[in-house]
Chain A
Amino acid sequence: MNVFQEAAIVAGKDLRIEARSRVTMTQILPFGGVVLLLFAFALDQKKILRQVAPGLFWVCVLLAALLAVSRSFSIEQQNGARDGLRLSGLDGAAVFLGKAGAIGAELLVLELVLGIGVVVLYGIAPASIGVLLLTAVAATVSVAATGTLYGVLAAGLRVRETLVPLLLLPVVAPVLFGATRAFELALHLHPHSHASDAWPWVGMLSLFAVIYASAGTLAFGTLLEES
Chain B
Amino acid sequence: MRLLGRRATTALGAASLVALAVLVYLGLWASPPDVNQSDGVRLLYLHVPSAWLAYLAFFVTAISSALYLWPRTRSVVWDLVAGASAEIGVMFTALTLVLGSLWGRPVWGVWWAWDARLVTTAVMFFLYLGYLALRRIPGGAEVRGKRCAIAALIAFIDVPIVHFSVNWWRTLHQEGSIFNDEMKAHIHGLMAFTLVWGVIAFTVLYVYLLSRRYRLAAIEEQMEEREIDRAIAERIERDTPVLEAGARP
Listed in ascending order, the chain A residues whose CB lies under 8 Å from chain B are: 146, 149-150, 153-154, 157, 159, 163, 166-167, 169-171, 173-174, 177-178, 181, 200-201, 204, 208, 211, 215, 219, 222-223, 226-227
Contact = CB atoms under 8 A, between A and B. Distances in A.
Interface residues of B, number: 27
Nearest to A222: B146
Given A171-B155, A211-B161, A223-B150, 18 more contacts: A149-B154, A153-B147, A159-B137, A163-B137, A166-B126, A166-B129, A167-B130, A167-B134, A170-B130, A170-B158, A171-B127, A174-B166, A177-B169, A178-B165, A204-B168, A219-B154, A222-B150, A226-B147
B160 to A, nearest CB: 10
B143 A208 contact: no
Given A153-B150, A170-B127, A163 B158 contact: no
Interface in B64-79: none
Contacts of B155: 171
B133 interface: yes
B191 to A, nearest CB: 34
B196 interface: no
A157 B158 contact: no
B154 A171 contact: yes
A200 B151 CA distance: 29
B123 interface: yes
A227 B157 contact: no
Contacts of B142: 226
Given A166-B130, A170-B130, A211-B157, A157 B165 contact: no
30 contacts: A149-B154, A150-B151, A153-B150, A153-B151, A154-B134, A157-B137, A157-B139, A163-B130, A166-B129, A167-B130, A167-B131, A169-B126, A170-B126, A170-B158, A171-B127, A171-B154, A171-B158, A173-B123, A174-B162, A174-B165, A177-B165, A178-B165, A204-B168, A211-B157, A215-B157, A219-B150, A219-B154, A223-B147, A226-B142, A226-B143
Interface of B: 123, 126-127, 129-131, 133-134, 137, 139, 142-143, 146-147, 150-151, 154-155, 157-158, 161-162, 164-166, 168-169
Nearest to B146: A226
A220 B123 CA distance: 24
Q: Which of the listed residues B142, B147, B165 has the most CB atoms from chain A within 10 Å of its own CB?
A: B165
Nearest to B144: A226
Contacts of A211: 157, 161
A217 to B, nearest CB: 13
A221 to B, nearest CB: 11
B205 to A, nearest CB: 27
Counting from the closest, the 8 A-B pairs by CB-CB distance are A174-B165, A170-B126, A167-B130, A166-B130, A170-B127, A177-B165, A226-B143, A174-B161
Contact of B162 (A146, A150, A163, A173): A173
A163 B147 contact: no
A187 B92 CA distance: 41
Contacts of A219: 150, 154
A181 B166 CA distance: 11
Contact of A163 (B126, B133, B146): B133
A217 B44 CA distance: 42
B71 to A, nearest CB: 11
A35 to B, nearest CB: 21
Given A153-B151, A219-B150, A204 B165 contact: yes
A101 B155 CA distance: 23
A167 B151 contact: yes
Contact of A215 (B154, B165, B168): B154
Contacts of A167: 130-131, 133-134, 151
